[in-house]
Chains A and B, each alone.
Chain A
Amino acid sequence: MSLIKIIITLHQPLSVKYGAIFPALETELKRLAADRRFSTTLLYLDDATMMAPFGKGAIPLPSTEKDCKDWVDAIYKNKNPDYLVLFGSQDIFPFQRLGNPLFKVGDDSDQKVPSDLPYASDSPYSVNIADFTNPSRVVGRIPDIPGIPDVNHVKSQVDFILSHAPKPLVQYKNYIGISAETWSVSTDLSLTNIFGVNPNQNNYPPTPNPPPPGVQALTHFINCHGMLLNPGFYGESSGNPKTYPLSLHSSNVSAIQPGTVVSAECCYGAQLYKPVPLPKSVATNYMEKKAAVFMGSSSIAYGEELVNDLADILCQDFLKSILAGASTGRSLLEARQQYIFLKLPHLSPYDLKTIAQFYILGDPSVQPVLQVRDAESTTKNRRINMRMKGFVLAFTIAEAKKIDTPPKTESLNAAIKALLSANNLADSEESVFEIEDAFPYSLSPNSKLDRLKGFGVLPQTDIRFRIFGFKGTAVEITGDVAQTEVSGFRVLMVKEDGENILESRVYVSK
């Protein structure tokens, strides 16, 4: 099963921006598209021929944010890619600028929240964050430099993506924590949750001038101040008078290792701006120095000083998924979904801004860490699961109903028989559960559910769980103790879609 990766961008804006060196840029895009580890397609949304298979013409130029969202949805409707790569910064392929529920001049001054969340959601175009609390797609952005046609910046990232191979977990357990002193307790809690121990936290102050020691570690967790249109992150003293020493400047990033993973809670941590007259942003330099991913915020972010909440939670869950072997794109999706599950049923405006403002820079298919968890589950299976979870988040939980055992295709039957034989369950009894209608309920009287169903991108609903091992009333009574006839209770669960085994598990009773 080849995984589908689609890279989307806009030809005309790129050719205008890069001018005479556009062919060199296109060479890099084609190198990326030639990555045969995936079934990769490069799509110019403004190319009518390329878009024809997706039931869309060329996107209008100049494109609106709504156009871009609509065209992305058409791609999902027709191809359902495992990874969607947005190529270019916001001057090429726009962020979706969502209304900021916390906007207040001089306080939370972000009128809009630049976001890639809508591209990761099956909900149709909207500027309301609350319409996108059902993230279900794996999406990332390979940025170029806003306003500057720099092919080498792109080439550096493409070189990394094409040469990257996952590394053992132990290498990514070598981390650096960078924190404002005033948030040191919250940072310590986050890092301890992620790594189990926390010997590598640097607080600003009193840590002296950056770069902090250990910047060559492969995992970076940053909980500092950031500022719009500024190339640095800043600490904050706990006492008075307040000081705000520089904790990391974009120029300090030159010493990082390729494959570095960054999770930054800072305000504007992942901002991309035209580096004139300013130096490049921290995030831009991380990507230029071949970071695997930079996960950060487009705007003013929120957290806690003494406990974890909001950005603290999202950023640590992102790293937990990375360390467990997920791709960078899946790590963001998992973090978003877990966050929303955690906060349901009532998401505050702070929660809404948090889930909208964080995005990843980097190819979402890059897997930094060799997988240590869930190795038996296929990527296709995980994608289906996450699409389903997205819908659950928006509406309700899918119900699996027991049905009479349906026939299997020849290939499916052979695959299941092999599994049963391998697990000494060849003559076991079979029970089948089918998800008849994933979303029989609507929580919304105006039927947002129906609009999504009409959109036609519901994940497969003909999913079945086949469970092998039940043997009727295999119980004998000895005194007051009920015992099964077999030693222990062992079942094989196969999840299938009619054609393929998506997942198999052997469960044992304790």
Chain B
Amino acid sequence: MQLEGTVVSKIFGKGSKSEYQGVFLSTPQGDYVLRQHGNNPFDDPELKKLVGKNIVATGEIEEYIFFVDAVRVRE
């Protein structure tokens, strides 16, 4: 599936055992945690580089996570 939105960085899981500075895709349908299979979910430099950008991403939604397969940055 394809989602379009803005990549933002904010705290995930405040006070929990998975609290971290998460990378989210903010879309009109809601916010999803962005992840890539095989990468460290708490620290993915490739996703961090997208913060602040508008993107079109292809991937799959699993619960509150959007697993990204491909990203196109909109100019």
Residues of A within 8 A of B (CB): 105-109, 223-230, 232, 234, 236, 242-244, 246, 265-268, 277-278, 300-303, 311
With A105-B31, A242-B20, A244-B43 as contacts: A228 and B12 at CB distance below 8 Å:
no
Q: Which residue of A lies closest to B42 (CB)?
A: A244
Contact residues, B14-54 vs A (CB, 8 A) = 14-18, 20-22, 24, 30-31, 33, 37, 40-43
Which 3 pairs, one residue from A and one from B, show the smallest C-beta to C-beta distance?
A244-B42, A267-B18, A109-B64
Q: Which residue of A lies closest to B16 (CB)?
A: A300
Q: Flag if A301 contacts B16 (CB, 8 Å).
A: yes
Q: Is B75 an interface residue (CB 8 A)?
A: no
Q: Flag if B40 contacts A234 (CB, 8 Å).
A: yes
Q: Which residue of B lies closest to A246 (CB)?
A: B40
Q: Flag if A267 contacts B17 (CB, 8 Å).
A: yes
Q: Which residue of B lies closest to A279 (CB)?
A: B38
Q: Flag if A227 contacts B17 (CB, 8 Å).
A: no
Give the chain A neighbours of B17 by CB distance below 8 A: 223-226, 265-267, 300-303, 311
Give the chain A neighbours of B20 by CB distance below 8 A: 225, 236, 242, 244
B41 CB to nearest chain A CB (Å): 4
| A105, B13: Cα distance in complex, Å | 9
Contact of A234 among B13, B14, B24, B42 (CB under 8 A): B42
What size tier do the contact residues of chain B reach? 20 to 34
The tally of CB-CB contacts under 8 A between chains A and B is 77
Q: Which residue of A lies closest to B39 (CB)?
A: A230
Q: Can you list 7 residue pairs at the A/B interface with Cβ under 8 Å? A: A106-B12, A106-B31, A107-B12, A108-B16, A228-B62, A236-B42, A300-B18
Tell me the dominant secondary structure on chain A's binding face. Answer: loop
Q: Which residue of B lies closest to A225 (CB)?
A: B18
A229 CB to nearest chain B CB (Å): 6
Q: Flag if A242 contacts B41 (CB, 8 Å).
A: no
Give the chain B neighbours of A311 by CB distance below 8 A: 17
Give the chain A neighbours of B15 by CB distance below 8 A: 302
| A244, B21: Cα distance in complex, Å | 11
With A108-B16, A300-B13, A300-B16 as contacts: A229 and B30 at CB distance below 8 Å:
no
With A106-B31, A109-B64, A229-B62 as contacts: A302 and B16 at CB distance below 8 Å:
yes
Q: Is B65 an interface residue (CB 8 A)?
A: yes
| A311, B22: Cα distance in complex, Å | 23
With A242-B20, A267-B13, A278-B37 as contacts: A109 and B63 at CB distance below 8 Å:
yes
Give the chain B neighbours of A229 by CB distance below 8 A: 62-63, 65, 67
| A508, B72: Cα distance in complex, Å | 78
Residues of B within 8 A of A (CB): 10-18, 20-22, 24, 30-31, 33, 37, 40-43, 62-65, 67
B69 CB to nearest chain A CB (Å): 10
With A234-B40, A277-B37 as contacts: A107 and B14 at CB distance below 8 Å:
yes
| A107, B30: Cα distance in complex, Å | 13
Give the chain A neighbours of B67 by CB distance below 8 A: 229
| A300, B22: Cα distance in complex, Å | 15
Q: Flag if A227 contacts B63 (CB, 8 Å).
A: no
| A228, B41: Cα distance in complex, Å | 9
Q: Flag if B13 contacts A109 (CB, 8 Å).
A: yes
Residue from A108, A109, A226, A300 with most neighbouring chain B CB atoms (10 Å)? A109
Q: Flag if B65 contacts A228 (CB, 8 Å).
A: yes
Give the chain B neighbours of A243 by CB distance below 8 A: 43
Q: Flag if B21 contacts A242 (CB, 8 Å).
A: yes
Q: A226-B18, A229-B65 are in contact. List 7 more A-B contacts (CB 8 A).
A: A106-B24, A106-B33, A107-B13, A228-B65, A266-B17, A301-B16, A311-B17
Give the chain A neighbours of B63 by CB distance below 8 A: 109, 228-229
| A107, B63: Cα distance in complex, Å | 14
Give the chain B neighbours of A232 by CB distance below 8 A: 40
Give the chain A neighbours of B65 by CB distance below 8 A: 228-229
| A105, B25: Cα distance in complex, Å | 13
Q: Flag if B40 contacts A106 (CB, 8 Å).
A: no
| A90, B65: Cα distance in complex, Å | 20
Contact of A230 among B11, B14, B30, B41 (CB under 8 A): B41
Q: Flag if B40 contacts A244 (CB, 8 Å).
A: yes
Contact of B33 among A109, A242, A266 (CB under 8 A): A109
Give the chain B neighbours of A267 by CB distance below 8 A: 13, 16-18
A349 CB to nearest chain B CB (Å): 12
Give the chain A neighbours of B43 by CB distance below 8 A: 242-244
Q: Which residue of B lies closest to A104 (CB)?
A: B14
| A246, B38: Cα distance in complex, Å | 12
Q: Flag if B37 contacts A105 (CB, 8 Å).
A: no
